[in-house]
Chain A
Amino acid sequence: MPKLLQLQHIRKTFPGVVALDDVSFSIAAGEIHTLLGENGAGKSTLMNVLTGFYAPDSGSLQLDGQSVRFSSPRDSLALGIGMVHQHFMLVAAHSVLENILVALQGVPLLFPRRQLRSKIEQTIDEFGIDLDLDAPVWQLSIGAQQWIELIKLLMRDCRLLILDEPTAVLTPQEADKLFQVLQRLKQQGKSIIFISHKMREVMEISDRVTILKKGRSVTTLEAGEFNQNKLAALMIGGDKIPEWQKSLPFSDELVLEIENLAVRNDRGLADLDNFNLQLKKGEILGIAGIAGNGQKALAEALTGLTRVESGRVLAAGEDITRSCARSSYIAGIAHIPEDRKAIGIVPDLSLDENLILKNFRAKRFRHGVFQSRSAIRNNAIEKVDQFAIKAGPQGSPVRLLSGGNIQKVIIARELSEQPVVLIALYPTRGLDIGSAEYVHKVIAEGAGNGMSTILISEDLDELYKICDRIAVIFRGRLIGYVDPANASREQIGLMMSGEVSA
């Protein structure tokens, strides 16, 4: 196969961090090439070098055998390289339409609005997704935002499409839709670089896989040469995947009771409607449902981040329906939010500070009114080690970390004070397999010590693996509970689409 793009000995450093040490690999025309590597291995950095966002310290790029240098994304776009970034490049205040329009090429100075609009609508229809072109982006779910990014890319005429963890926030059904599109593009001779931590997807779609470890390209394997275990082994090298066991059966003691809860969203529509749920001590309760059926509202209602319209939430018999976020926390509820950059971290504070955002008042972090720097530092060292966080130089803002590592910071913080209840939304989204496994282990161990977890996830594999019970949510209502030990996936699938109850 002819080589479309070749990278040789790429090196990129940031103050105090070697993000890419020495990376070489090539992309052929008409192939789907997967990049695999742990959180912080340098995948996103490499893609940013490829699109001209970052200037490499050294190394060379060749396109069609010609040496090229990109000094901005404009240059790479001109040569037909387009990318969907791991962290979205969207304007929250603008409408979906405006966000797509701004990305189109060759649009005249005065927009032929109607014509462009119907062209965009056509593309959206092709994917069979539901997007309101006039809605402002900040109102949309993360999954919908991901589709906007995909549509922006697909409406451009690119020879090389780079997708940095596009499926992390998509449902399995949506991911399948995306894969069909990618296969079609491949048949048209386009090349695709795909990044994902989900092994099932990697196996399904890749023609070749390149493995990145600590900023170095380890090896490239052709289809047929790899299987899930081999890839995992290469990716984590000598490290071990943590092992854990499901905890003992939980007790019958109720820690959380939700009665007839109703919540409305910004647009005044019901997100939760007459919702009931019971959580028992030491239980891991999965919430299965297609994104946008009220999961986020449930989490926000439980953590005091949104106003409850009617109904009650009882924690150990005490009514916490109207308490603010802080008092909910004191009541022992921890929260791993969906939108990690927006409400999970304070981007400009350091790692150390982000790790104590919630318990900075604890005695051990203080000397009277002063902070104890050494205690805060030691806490960070401990967490970094425990969760294998790839941290930057000490004191640097936490926003500089890779996507997966930011997620680990949030999880480490939320689990640090032995919460009574953990509300976790897609906690392993964007985590590499080792880290995802570690998070499962921590949750399972917590359950052994009496922590109850509400695990909101779209990943049925994950729910089956660690949950004691699974509750299915549809259109803001509880459809029923199932026991993962003897319920089939088909049954849950039907419940998720509201076709049958338990």
Chain B
Amino acid sequence: MLEILLDATVRAGTPILFATLGAIINERAGIINLGIEGLMLIGALSGFAATFSSGSLLLGVVSAFVAAFIAGSIHALITVQLRGNQIVSGLALTMFGIGVTALFGRGVVGQTIDGFERHAVPLLSQLPVVGKAFFNQNGLIYFSFLLVAFIWFFFYHTRWGLNLRTIGENPAAADACGIAVNRYRFLAVACGSGLVGIGGAYLSLASTPMWIENMTAGRGWIAVALVIFASWSSVRALFGAYLFGGITAMQLRFQAMGTTVSAHVLQMLPYVFTIVVLVISTIRLQKGASQQPENLGLPYDREDRK
């Protein structure tokens, strides 16, 4: 029972994990990205379409990354180069993602592909309780583990990571050190968006190997909230995403057991949870535990005084 629940938790949490990691990379560079929901949809559709026409799952994942990278570049262009309003640009990106995928997705509605399959990791998958849930999964899930570790290492042990964190905190300080602020910011937004796209592709290539209009169902917004819960750390993002995945898994389980509680109420649970999480983490933020990059949301203009 616990094993099954854990397994479902990891599967439901992974798309949100990718999206949260992508959003963290954006925000560490100081750029708020509210386009996560739209980027996930773009990733989901382009991933599905590429796999459907080529038969290759790898190609699907790569196209999801590339498509979301390109869409994210629009946000980067507006917010970094043109110093536009990050909130407005991000919301527009979400609207764009919903609309454009609904339009171009019509051609593949109802089609199916062979999605990602489980591959057990020798030895590790034999571990009691956690073995099956974490090490008898598909390739994308293993990739997400590596990504969490890699991002942590990148931020805290590489020069590029330190540069990026400095930019998010105080771009003028980074600029004074000769760091190319806009180039870093642009790449962070675009690459982060690409990862969000992979989160979307997880839905259409692994969760339910098909394209359904608006299939993200608000997961992008949950990722935006989890960034705060995770206080901009990739490792804590893993916990946040699985917490959300766990609640999703549980409510599905309740439905399957046939409780008398309405399915609508149960489906609401993960979102209610998100609100609770936001309240708690905001209170923590105010208590000074803030990890929020100091210049988050502010455009950088070298000639402006701060």
Within the complex, the shortest CB–CB distance from B187 to chain A, in Å, comes to 15
When C-beta atoms are compared, the residue in chain B nearest to A51 turns out to be: B176
Instruction: Determine if A73 is an interface residue (Cβ-Cβ < 8 Å).
Output: yes
Contact partners of B294 in chain A: CB under 8 A:
91-93
Complex: A400 Cα to B294 Cα, angstroms: 20
Contact of B170 among A51, A77, A89, A107 (CB under 8 A): A89
Contact of B165 among A83, A94, A103 (CB under 8 A): A94
Known: A111-B157, A347-B306. A77 touches B178 (CB 8 A): yes
Known: A53-B302, A102-B174, A347-B306. A91 touches B157 (CB 8 A): no
Within the complex, the shortest CB–CB distance from B171 to chain A, in Å, comes to 10
Within the complex, the shortest CB–CB distance from B46 to chain A, in Å, comes to 32
Instruction: Determine if A1 is an interface residue (Cβ-Cβ < 8 Å).
Output: no
Contact of A83 among B158, B170, B176, B291 (CB under 8 A): B176
Instruction: Determine if A151 is an interface residue (Cβ-Cβ < 8 Å).
Output: no
Instruction: Determine if A198 is an interface residue (Cβ-Cβ < 8 Å).
Output: no
Q: When the two chains form their complex, are residues B303 and A109 in contact, meaning their CB atoms are under 8 A apart? A: no
Complex: A121 Cα to B24 Cα, angstroms: 33
Known: A53-B302, A91-B169, A94-B169. A74 touches B159 (CB 8 A): no
Complex: A53 Cα to B303 Cα, angstroms: 7
Instruction: Determine if B173 is an interface residue (Cβ-Cβ < 8 Å).
Output: yes
Complex: A87 Cα to B176 Cα, angstroms: 12
Contact partners of A92 in chain B: CB under 8 A:
169-170, 294
How many B residues touch the partner, as a band? 20 to 34
When C-beta atoms are compared, the residue in chain A nearest to B173 turns out to be: A89
Contact of B166 among A72, A78, A94, A109 (CB under 8 A): A94
Contact partners of B173 in chain A: CB under 8 A:
89-91, 99, 102
Instruction: Determine if B213 is an interface residue (Cβ-Cβ < 8 Å).
Output: no
Q: When the two chains form their complex, are residues A109 and B177 in contact, meaning their CB atoms are under 8 A apart? A: no
Within the complex, the shortest CB–CB distance from A99 to chain B, in Å, comes to 8
Complex: A91 Cα to B162 Cα, angstroms: 11
Contact partners of A366 in chain B: CB under 8 A:
none
Contact of A78 among B157, B165, B178, B291 (CB under 8 A): B178
Q: When the two chains form their complex, are residues A72 and B159 in contact, meaning their CB atoms are under 8 A apart? A: no
Instruction: Determine if B160 is an interface residue (Cβ-Cβ < 8 Å).
Output: yes
Q: When the two chains form their complex, are residues A102 and B306 in contact, meaning their CB atoms are under 8 A apart? A: no
Contact partners of B179 in chain A: CB under 8 A:
74, 102
Complex: A92 Cα to B179 Cα, angstroms: 18
Known: A92-B294, A111-B158. A73 touches B175 (CB 8 A): yes
Instruction: Determine if A399 is an interface residue (Cβ-Cβ < 8 Å).
Output: yes
Instruction: Determine if B20 is an interface residue (Cβ-Cβ < 8 Å).
Output: no
Complex: A130 Cα to B303 Cα, angstroms: 34
Q: When the two chains form their complex, are residues B305 and A400 in contact, meaning their CB atoms are under 8 A apart? A: yes
When C-beta atoms are compared, the residue in chain A nearest to B168 turns out to be: A91
Q: When the two chains form their complex, are residues A110 and B157 in contact, meaning their CB atoms are under 8 A apart? A: yes
Q: When the two chains form their complex, are residues A89 and B158 in contact, meaning their CB atoms are under 8 A apart? A: no
Known: A53-B303, A90-B170, A347-B306. A107 touches B159 (CB 8 A): yes
Instruction: Determine if A98 is an interface residue (Cβ-Cβ < 8 Å).
Output: yes
Name which of A93, A94, A101, A400 has the most chain B CB atoms within 10 A of its CB: A93
Contact of B169 among A72, A93, A347, A400 (CB under 8 A): A93
Instruction: Determine if A54 is an interface residue (Cβ-Cβ < 8 Å).
Output: yes
Chain A residues bordering chain B, tally (CB within 8 A): 34
Contact partners of B305 in chain A: CB under 8 A:
87, 399-400
Chain A 65-89 per-residue mask, 1 if CB under 8 angstroms from chain B, else 0: 0000000111001100001010101
Known: A54-B303, A73-B175, A93-B294. A110 touches B166 (CB 8 A): no
Contact partners of B291 in chain A: CB under 8 A:
93
Q: When the two chains form their complex, are residues A72 and B306 in contact, meaning their CB atoms are under 8 A apart? A: no
Complex: A478 Cα to B194 Cα, angstroms: 61
Contact partners of A99 in chain B: CB under 8 A:
173
Instruction: Determine if B61 is an interface residue (Cβ-Cβ < 8 Å).
Output: no
Contact partners of A108 in chain B: CB under 8 A:
159
Within the complex, the shortest CB–CB distance from A403 to chain B, in Å, comes to 10
When C-beta atoms are compared, the residue in chain B nearest to A92 turns out to be: B294
When C-beta atoms are compared, the residue in chain B nearest to A400 turns out to be: B305
Q: When the two chains form their complex, are residues A72 and B175 in contact, meaning their CB atoms are under 8 A apart? A: yes
Chain B 67-107 per-residue mask, 1 if CB under 8 angstroms from chain A, else 0: 00000000000000000000000000000000000000000
Contact partners of A55 in chain B: CB under 8 A:
303
Complex: A87 Cα to B172 Cα, angstroms: 11
Q: When the two chains form their complex, are residues B176 and A73 in contact, meaning their CB atoms are under 8 A apart? A: yes
Contact partners of A14 in chain B: CB under 8 A:
303
Q: When the two chains form their complex, are residues B178 and A74 in contact, meaning their CB atoms are under 8 A apart? A: yes
Name which of A14, A53, A72, A110 has the most chain B CB atoms within 10 A of its CB: A72
Name which of A74, A91, A92, A107 has the most chain B CB atoms within 10 A of its CB: A91
Within the complex, the shortest CB–CB distance from B115 to chain A, in Å, comes to 37
Complex: A347 Cα to B298 Cα, angstroms: 14
Complex: A20 Cα to B170 Cα, angstroms: 27
Chain B 281-306 per-residue mask, 1 if CB under 8 angstroms from chain A, else 0: 00000000001001000000011011
Contact partners of B166 in chain A: CB under 8 A:
91, 94, 98, 102
Q: When the two chains form their complex, are residues A89 and B172 in contact, meaning their CB atoms are under 8 A apart? A: yes
Chain B 151-164 per-residue mask, 1 if CB under 8 angstroms from chain A, else 0: 00000011110110
Instruction: Determine if B180 is an interface residue (Cβ-Cβ < 8 Å).
Output: yes
Q: When the two chains form their complex, are residues A109 and B159 in contact, meaning their CB atoms are under 8 A apart? A: yes
Contact partners of B306 in chain A: CB under 8 A:
87, 347, 399
Within the complex, the shortest CB–CB distance from B186 to chain A, in Å, comes to 15
When C-beta atoms are compared, the residue in chain A nearest to B303 turns out to be: A54
Complex: A101 Cα to B162 Cα, angstroms: 9
Q: When the two chains form their complex, are residues B302 and A72 in contact, meaning their CB atoms are under 8 A apart? A: yes
Complex: A56 Cα to B162 Cα, angstroms: 31
Complex: A109 Cα to B294 Cα, angstroms: 24
Contact partners of A98 in chain B: CB under 8 A:
162, 166
Contact of A109 among B160, B165, B175 (CB under 8 A): B160
Contact partners of A109 in chain B: CB under 8 A:
158-160
Complex: A158 Cα to B166 Cα, angstroms: 22
When C-beta atoms are compared, the residue in chain A nearest to B306 turns out to be: A399
Contact partners of A73 in chain B: CB under 8 A:
175-178
Measuring CB to CB, which residues of chain A are less than 8 angstroms from any residue of chain B?
A: 14, 51, 53-55, 72-74, 77-78, 83, 85, 87, 89-94, 98-99, 101-103, 105, 107-111, 152, 347, 399-400
List 5 A–B pairs whose Cβ atoms lie within 8 Å, in order of A's numbering. A72-B302, A74-B178, A74-B179, A108-B159, A111-B157
For the A-B complex with A74-B175, A107-B159 known, give 12 more contacts whose Cβ atoms are closer than 8 Å: A73-B175, A73-B178, A74-B178, A77-B178, A83-B176, A89-B177, A90-B173, A92-B169, A98-B166, A110-B157, A111-B159, A152-B177
Nearest 3 Cβ contacts at the A-B interface: A89-B173, A74-B178, A91-B169
